[in-house]
A and B are shown apart, each in its own frame.
Chain A
Amino acid sequence: MANVAKKVSWAGKDEEPRPGETTPLINGSPSAAHTQSNFFRIQRLITVNLDDDPTQEQDGVSAAGAPKEISHTEKLLSLKYESLDYDNSENQLFMEEERRISKIGFHVLEIKRWIVCCLIGIFTGLIACIIDIVVELLADKKYQIIKENIDKSTESGGLSISLILWASLNAGFVMIGSFLVAFIEPAASGSGIPQIKCYLNGVKVPHVVRLKTLVVKVLGVIFSVVGGLAVGKEGPMIHSGAVIAAGISQGRSSTLKRDFKIFEYFRRDTEKRDFVSAGAAAGVSAAFGAPVGGVLFSLEEGASFWNQMLTWRIFFASMISTFTLNFVLSIYRGNPGDLSSPGLINFGQFNSEAAQYNWFEIPVFICVGAIGGILGAVFNRLNYCLTMFRIRYIHRPCLQVIEAMVVGAVTATVSFVMIYAMYTSDCQPVGEDPIKYPLQLFCPDGEYNAIATTFFNTPEKSVRSLFHDSPGSYNPLTLGLFTLSYFFLACWTYGLAVSSGVFIPSLLIGAAWGRLFGIFLSNISSGSTWADPGKYALMGAAAQLGGIVRMTLSLTVIIMEATGNVTYGLPIMLVLMTAKIFGDFCIEGLYDIHIKLQSVPFLGWEPPEKSHTLTAREVMSYPVTCFKRVEKVGRIVDILSDTTINHNGFPVVDENHEPEYDNVGRLCGLILRSQLIVLLKHKVFVERATSNLTQRKLQLKDFRDAYPRFPPIQSIHVSQDERHCTVDLTEFINPTPYSVPGEASLPRVFRLFRALGLRHLVICDGSNGVIGIVTRKDLARYRLHKGQLEELEMAHT
């Protein structure tokens, strides 16, 4: 009871809006005089430790000094990420508009959704075509030049010049791609899948769905693939699809400052996010020719919010996208109307006799899966260390560009040295397998260097030839060296400031060691027909990819669709399952690692285990900054422009009820920062309304027009006179925000948050008085680490 009394005493005074007076009241806080100003600016109280065990009290340490400075670790949450407003603000304006929409209006909306999905599919397919065609043309040119040069210099000397030419061509292309990414739009770096995963999870990743990002992404991926890096163009397609979806569904582009005045109803996070999941699916389906895989990818990676009609629409978008890609490519390749080669990468048909599998091969496949899982874990661990180093030391854009160029040059050098050193061991006669750039080098006339074909090609082509070339066309030593070098190159490349996918490099590594495994098997089984290297290359590719990205359902279906062979479903599933089990035992999937390293407040499927001991009261933010129903403009402006607070949602309390105990007043609604900014911008002040009757009533449209980039508070000018005006928030607040009592457990709050896609959850006491607020970051802070619940720190990054 004493505790409660104490609470009353200091919380009762806390209702004073001036935070300076609250600070001396902090109990037991050893705050020294010199830290006080700092302290009240941040307006913080002491952190709660997880356990009730008081021996773990570290608060004294953290509160005593000035804000601690640390270098980047994975145990951080960045403050630059905000949540999406998936939950509609059901204020009076919204209700009025919903009432106005007739029955036909709803049908029209539904039809518009379908139209948007169709457009998403078409444009995603077209982007995929552009990438494919440009990469093909440029890569062709590059390899022609290098091949001619090497051919010339093997006869008359000057191979070192060829090496320099190759390395500098690579570095040049990579430099352009990396420059675009590092200086113009850093959000376009990497495969974009982690970012899209976060977006679909409900995190607003800055700049991730802008048109500028799309342009940089497309150009960046073209240059990095042409630059010969160990990257693929498939991952970025998913990001591109998502950006296209976000752009089209809004009917305007803020980058181009064009508004087409269409699809205005869809200008809010709820609708946009559904379309983004359709775009991601369309991207997958364009990349792999796997429409079902695309839908399942959206389901697996992002769909916290899913319904049957949405699934059907997403499937429609995926189909349209793969169809468009197919159609345009068929025209480009000169046989218009032939729709039988879907996807940017096509694994080709596995129809031969030896490509069938027998029951006794199942354990062998499982072994392949285990190897894939372990190698994937090694890959992820190395990449984790490397990414950490990059975040800490290579954060300046020019350094990032130089790093990418170095990687490009080294990739060329490694390839060249490999080809150069292996010249005697592996020469194959020209003409047995179709080779695009047969490089003779030191082979006798009429033969080509077999190791050159694996390096001297775009990764997609290499994957295909590993799957389908006749059993004798690769020498085991060649393959072994190739696997080793490509493994490290791919691991080194992922995470550079270039747009790059990790799918194709993983498939290539896996296909190489899988083929090696197949050759080994056929040797020990003394040439029996079942051990087809091509089949094992496929299984190895699946295992390696599964071991790195740890996707399950969608990856199985994607690979199944890309091979066009349903009977491979079972072995692929087993392989991926084993790979995931073995990999998860060691380290998480690559995308999850990168999400963690980016300090994103990502909410998993389930609340962290062992978190039942925590209650909402312990995790919530306290004290809450609240507004009254009729609030002074001056106070609103002050609170919004206080950079240290940076809240986005403010509970609105009833001014007629006096605050009691530790609450700050009775909850009667919630208002968002974006809404307040629009109100201030339009100067919807009570005093103005009476003086200026001509001013029209604010509508929902005004809020939509400002979406998604609401102007910052600094750009809104409020005069000294206006500061004394008041705003009536009644019409604009969401009168029915979700709230839970403070005794609710963390898992309960977490599930509510995750299932409804909330952004703010108000914590109330028994009489509906606001005592605190829970946001995404408050929940994402708790994470299970080595069997212990740990609490992450927050920082500006």
Chain B
Amino acid sequence: MVGVVWWSVLCLALLLRGALGDHNSSEYSHGVATSVVVGTRSWEPAGWGGEAGPRLREVRSAAAASGEVSDSAAAGWMSEVAGDWEVSDSAAAGWMIGWEVLQEQAVSQICRQLLVHFGDTSASLVRCAVKRARPVRICEMCNSHFHHFWDSFANLSKDAGNESCSKQLLRSDRLQIVLKTRNFLQHMWTDSQCDACLNENKTAPSIDSIIFKKMLNESLNCFEYYSSKHPVHSNYSDLCKKCKGSYDNLTEHYNRMEKDNKLCIDIIDAMNLTRQLWSKTYNCTIRCGDMIPVIAVSTFLLFLPVIFYLSSFLHSEQKKLKLIEPKRLKHCSSSSSSITH
């Protein structure tokens, strides 16, 4: 008996020791892991500061030069962010000396030029697209920018001489800035469905969209002419009567293009805005309510079931079922069986 207790205590102690030992070793490995993490972290600020700093400044200067950023809040935000980066720039200045070496190691001279060109084209594309964000006219106005952008990316991913820029630039790090930028802009293109309203070479608007534009102008001119005449829009004013023809033509053409799947975002957006003008601003959509006939017909239809069920309840004879009584042993025998068991 005592032996058993002693044995179990011994086992317990061994188990405990084993557990403690395990714990120690895991802590040790954890410590190693954290030190590695610290190591990588210490590299990161340098990478960020060195690369993104100059680039953002470039974007900012571009924005300032074009003078497009009129919104004061946005400008404030920009300067604030830029200020932040200024600070980190100066902090990172110490790294800049070593940076040159790394740069040569990472990217060759030719590739660097291509990269800069790619940056320029994408920046101008972004500028163009944002400028034409509302009302959307990206397909019409930024078409050439897209072509430049694609060309520069094609150059970049092509092998220049004996050096492979695509490998150096596109697949060398985790972040893959170039690819991400390209994917983002390409996504914008596919989402806008610009292909649908360009001609085969994708260089100029297709004939359909030119016709649409012409009709749109016609309608808008008409709107402008009559709305300046009567600035107050009553229900179904003069404008509606006079411009109905051109608006109907426009709608018809739009519907035809829709059927043929030839709509791009430019046209859809223009049409949406025109429709809103037509039906909300000028109140030109009139609908035949047909209130009384609709109410009459629907009441009649809704009363059908009442009539049907009432008449079938009153006139249809109820089905009567003949009960069949099953053959059973008599009750007395059942009581006898309950006695016997």
Q: Which residues of A contact B (CB under 8 A)?
A: 3-4, 6-7, 26-28, 42-49, 52, 54, 57, 59, 62-63, 67-72, 76, 79, 153-160, 163-164, 167, 389, 391-396, 399, 402-403, 406-407, 409-410, 412-414, 416-417, 420, 429-431, 441-442, 444-446, 613, 615, 617-623, 662, 742-743, 771-772, 777-778, 781, 793-797
Query: Do B268 and A445 touch across chains, with their CB atoms under 8 A apart?
Result: no
Which residues of A have CB within 8 Å of B338? 52, 613, 615
Q: Give Cα A399–Cα B310 distance, bound, in whole angstroms.
A: 13
Task: Given A157-B290, A416-B298, decide whether A7 and B326 contact each other with a Cβ distance below 8 A.
Answer: no
Interface pick from B202-210, B228-236, B316-324: B316-324
Interface pick from B36-44, B117-125, B329-337: B329-337
Q: Give Cα A623–Cα B323 distance, bound, in whole angstroms.
A: 19
Query: Do B279 and A444 touch across chains, with their CB atoms under 8 A apart?
Result: yes
Task: Please give the distance in Å from B274's CB to the nearest CB on chain A.
Answer: 8
Q: Give Cα A430–Cα B275 distance, bound, in whole angstroms.
A: 12
Q: Is B90 an interface residue (CB 8 A)?
A: no
Q: Is B2 an interface residue (CB 8 A)?
A: no
Residues of B271-301 at the interface with A, using a CB-CB cut-off of 8 Å, are 271-272, 275-276, 278-280, 285, 287-290, 293-294, 296-298, 301
Query: Do A410 and B293 touch across chains, with their CB atoms under 8 A apart?
Result: no
Residues of B254-276 at the interface with A, using a CB-CB cut-off of 8 Å, are 268, 271-272, 275-276
Query: Do B335 and A163 touch across chains, with their CB atoms under 8 A apart?
Result: no
Out of B308, B316, B327, name the residue touching A44 (CB < 8 Å): B327
Query: Do B325 and A62 touch across chains, with their CB atoms under 8 A apart?
Result: yes
Query: Do A156 and B305 touch across chains, with their CB atoms under 8 A apart?
Result: no
Query: Do A417 and B298 touch across chains, with their CB atoms under 8 A apart?
Result: yes
Which residues of A have CB within 8 Å of B331? 46, 48-49, 54, 57, 59
Q: Give Cα A617–Cα B335 distance, bound, in whole angstroms.
A: 10
Which residues of B have CB within 8 Å of A394? 312, 316
Which residues of A have CB within 8 Å of B324? 42, 44, 67, 79, 794-796
Query: Do B316 and A396 touch across chains, with their CB atoms under 8 A apart?
Result: yes
Query: Do B320 and A444 touch across chains, with their CB atoms under 8 A apart?
Result: no
Q: Give Cα A160–Cα B289 distance, bound, in whole angstroms.
A: 10
Which residues of B have CB within 8 Å of A742? 337
Q: Give Cα A412–Cα B297 distance, bound, in whole angstroms.
A: 12
Query: Do B293 and A43 touch across chains, with their CB atoms under 8 A apart?
Result: no
Task: Please give the distance in Å from B316's CB to the nearest CB on chain A.
Answer: 5
A-B contact pairs, 14 of them (CB 8 A): A27-B332, A28-B332, A52-B334, A52-B335, A159-B290, A159-B293, A160-B297, A393-B313, A393-B316, A409-B301, A417-B302, A772-B329, A777-B326, A795-B321
- Count of chain A to chain B residue pairs whose CB atoms are closer than 8 Å in the complex: 204
Task: Given A72-B321, A416-B298, A622-B329, decide whether A3 and B336 contact each other with a Cβ distance below 8 A.
Answer: yes
Out of B285, B288, B319, B332, name the residue touching A153 (CB < 8 Å): B288
Task: Please give the distance in Å from B337's CB to the nearest CB on chain A.
Answer: 5
Q: Is B23 an interface residue (CB 8 A)?
A: no
Q: Give Cα A393–Cα B315 distance, bound, in whole angstroms.
A: 9
Q: Is B211 an interface residue (CB 8 A)?
A: no
Task: Given A45-B327, A158-B288, decide whether A393 and B318 contact each other with a Cβ distance below 8 A.
Answer: yes
Q: Give Cα A750–Cα B206 distance, bound, in whole angstroms.
A: 80
Q: Is B304 an interface residue (CB 8 A)?
A: yes
Q: Give Cα A57–Cα B276 distance, bound, in whole angstroms.
A: 81
Task: Please give the distance in Å from B162's CB to the nearest CB on chain A.
Answer: 42
Q: Is B339 an interface residue (CB 8 A)?
A: yes
Interface of A is mostly: mixed
Can you name the residue of chain A whose Cβ is closest to the Cβ of B339? Answer: A3
Q: Is B341 an interface residue (CB 8 A)?
A: yes
Can you name the residue of chain B whose Cβ is closest to the Cβ of A431? Answer: B268
Q: Beyond the given A45-B327, A45-B329, A618-B329, could you list 11 further A-B residue pairs with CB under 8 A, ordered by the A residue number?
A: A42-B324, A154-B288, A163-B294, A393-B313, A396-B316, A406-B304, A410-B301, A412-B301, A413-B298, A620-B328, A781-B326
Query: Do A69 and B321 touch across chains, with their CB atoms under 8 A apart?
Result: yes
Can you name the residue of chain A whose Cβ is closest to the Cβ of B336? Answer: A3
Query: Do B308 and A158 touch across chains, with their CB atoms under 8 A apart?
Result: no
Can you name the residue of chain A whose Cβ is closest to the Cβ of B338? Answer: A52
Which residues of A have CB within 8 Å of B70? none
Out of B287, B302, B336, name the residue touching A154 (CB < 8 Å): B287
Q: Give Cα A206–Cα B193 distance, bound, in whole angstroms.
A: 59
Which residues of A have CB within 8 Å of B318? 71, 392-393
Task: Given A57-B331, A154-B287, A794-B323, decide whether A7 and B293 contact each other with a Cβ distance below 8 A.
Answer: no
Which residues of B have CB within 8 Å of A392? 318-319
Query: Do B294 and A618 touch across chains, with their CB atoms under 8 A apart?
Result: no
Query: Do A444 and B329 touch across chains, with their CB atoms under 8 A apart?
Result: no
Task: Given A157-B290, A409-B301, decide whether A7 and B322 contact each other with a Cβ distance below 8 A.
Answer: no
Q: Is B340 an interface residue (CB 8 A)?
A: yes
Which residues of B have CB within 8 Å of A48? 328-331, 334
Query: Do B327 and A621 touch across chains, with their CB atoms under 8 A apart?
Result: yes
Residues of B191-226 at the interface with A, using a CB-CB cut-off of 8 Å, are none
Q: Give Cα A156–Cα B290 distance, bound, in whole angstroms.
A: 10
Can you name the residue of chain A whose Cβ is closest to the Cβ of B288? Answer: A157
Which residues of A have CB within 8 Å of B335? 3, 52
Which residues of B have CB within 8 Å of A28? 330, 332
Which residues of A have CB within 8 Å of B309? 389
Query: Do A70 and B320 touch across chains, with their CB atoms under 8 A apart?
Result: yes
Which residues of B have CB within 8 Å of A67? 322-325
Can you name the residue of chain A whose Cβ is closest to the Cβ of B316? Answer: A393
Complex A-B, nearest 8 residue pairs according to Cβ-Cβ distance, in ascending order: A444-B279, A3-B336, A445-B275, A160-B293, A446-B275, A157-B288, A795-B321, A159-B290
Task: Please give the distance in Å from B336's CB to the nearest CB on chain A.
Answer: 4
Which residues of A have CB within 8 Å of B278? 445
Query: Do A618 and B334 touch across chains, with their CB atoms under 8 A apart?
Result: yes
Which residues of A have CB within 8 Å of B313? 389, 393
Query: Do A393 and B312 touch across chains, with their CB atoms under 8 A apart?
Result: yes
Which residues of A have CB within 8 Å of B320? 69-71
Can you name the residue of chain B whose Cβ is closest to the Cβ of A613? Answer: B338
Interface centre among B322, B328, B331, B337 (most CB of A within 10 A): B328
Q: Give Cα A413–Cα B296 distance, bound, in whole angstroms.
A: 12
Can you name the residue of chain A whose Cβ is closest to the Cβ of B247? Answer: A445
Task: Please give the distance in Å from B257's CB to the nearest CB on chain A.
Answer: 14
Task: Given A3-B339, A395-B319, decide whether A47 and B325 contact each other with a Cβ distance below 8 A.
Answer: yes
Q: Give Cα A391–Cα B321 distance, bound, in whole angstroms.
A: 12
Task: Please give the distance in Å from B26's CB to the nearest CB on chain A.
Answer: 28
Out of B275, B323, B326, name the residue touching A69 (CB < 8 Å): B323
Which residues of B have CB within 8 Å of A52? 334-335, 338
Task: Please give the distance in Å from B236's CB to the nearest CB on chain A.
Answer: 14
Which residues of B have CB within 8 Å of A619? 328
Query: Do A406 and B325 touch across chains, with their CB atoms under 8 A apart?
Result: no
Query: Do A68 and B336 touch across chains, with their CB atoms under 8 A apart?
Result: no
Q: Give Cα A444–Cα B318 distance, bound, in whole angstroms.
A: 54
Can you name the residue of chain A whose Cβ is closest to the Cβ of B280? Answer: A444
Can you name the residue of chain B whose Cβ is closest to the Cβ of A423? Answer: B287
